[in-house]
Amino acid sequence: MTGDDKELTKSATTATKGGPPTYAANDLRVFVAALEKLGYRPESLLKAAGLLPTAWDDPDARIPCHAFGAVIGRAMQERPMKNLGVRMAAETPIGSFPLLDYLILTSGTVGEGIKQLTRYFRLVVAPVTFDIREGEDPIVVMISAEDNTLSIEFSVSLGVLHFRREAESRYDPEFVAFAHKLDDVGEVERILECKVRSPAPWSGWALTRSAWDLPLRRRDSQLRQLLEQQADEMVSRIPVADGVGFDVRRVLTKRVAAGEATIASVARELATTPRTLQRRLAAAGLSFQDLVEQTREEIAEKYLTNVSLSIAEISYLLGYSEPSALHRAFKRWKGMTPQAFREALRGKG
């Protein structure tokens, strides 16, 4: 093993600390480095986030989540740029996220690398969820990040560009899709060198079975296994608020409205099996059904503040077959009916 490999596995043992939501300082360093290549001044960006240039001198440092938004906001204020997430991805070299990148690149094939990406992505950057439809033709890799189009653009583009560089043969997606409307589709097609659909029903990319099976040039099963051990240990140390419970709740927020609040559907989106997910929840002292109930309760409260929605419509949106089911659940949660809760809100107004 090389010296770089040893340093990589050493850094993987760092535990994520509790407290307010934060990201690793390296994640912000990667973003700022890409923005600098695009002509922005790092000093100005860091100042907007209330950070010093030494912010990431400590490899274990954590950065408040709001600092990311402040950096991007200042950049767009100084000089608006179309397709910013895509442009940033094009300026981000392989190895910028050392542990994640090498977990992927030491895989045997593109498909195995994509599965590693979905399994370990939450170790870095913003909360993004994946859903691999391996049984479809072409194979589809869907990516979602609630209300964060920049993360979608960055994550999709980075995946396309890096797999193309690392596949031993020419790797070309069938097409790339973005659910939001891109600023300039033509420019994104030139950068990604493939067909782009925008807006589309989902975000991600589609690839043929032959592209899925292409070998990666740095495949190394022994190093990958070592990295997986270290990464799994790191994942196990993530606090529950930022760990499996957070991941499940994030997926459930989207799925309860579609009537897909099953552990099988959630496990599929998290690129794991129902049995493994159940085991991880049990280890964290969590119940899947409790998380479903908590998610429904929060969404029900949100919907009830919207007077344009009837209670029957809200029942449907929450995946209930009839309003009486919501009525019983809401009384269990709040000790009152949905109608009484809505009337109480009006009284406060």
Q: What mean pLDDT value characterizes the chain?
A: 84
Q: Which residue has the higher pLDDT, 210 or 289?
A: 210
> C-alpha angle 58/60/62, rounded to 5°?
95
Specify the CATH class of 3-212 in words. Answer: alpha beta
In Å, how far are 174, 245, 275 from 289, measured between CA atoms?
Answer: 38, 12, 14
pLDDT on residue 349: 55
The CATH code of domain 243-349 reads 1.10.10.60
What residue segments make up the domains of the chain, in order of their start? 3-212, 243-349
* Residue listed under structure tokens 């449907």: 316
Q: What is the pLDDT of residues 296-332, one digit of tens each?
A: 888 888 788 877 788 988 888 888 878 898 999 999 8
Higher pLDDT, 207 or 13: 207
Instruction: Please give the helix or strand (H or E) that residue 187 lies within, else none.
Output: helix 185-192
Q: Of the spans 2-11, 164-173, 188-197, 255-264, which averages the highest pLDDT?
A: 188-197
Rounded CA-CA distance 158/242 in Å is 24
Arithmetic mean of pLDDT, 49-53: 87
C-alpha span between 99 and 230 (Å, rounded): 9
Instruction: Give Cβ neighbours of residue 282 (< 8 Å, ≥ 6 apart).
Output: none
Helix 338-348, helix 288-304: angle, nearest 10:
50
- Which tens digit of pLDDT belongs to each residue from 156-210? 999 999 999 999 888 999 999 999 999 999 999 999 999 999 999 899 999 999 9
Mean pLDDT of the region 91-106: 93
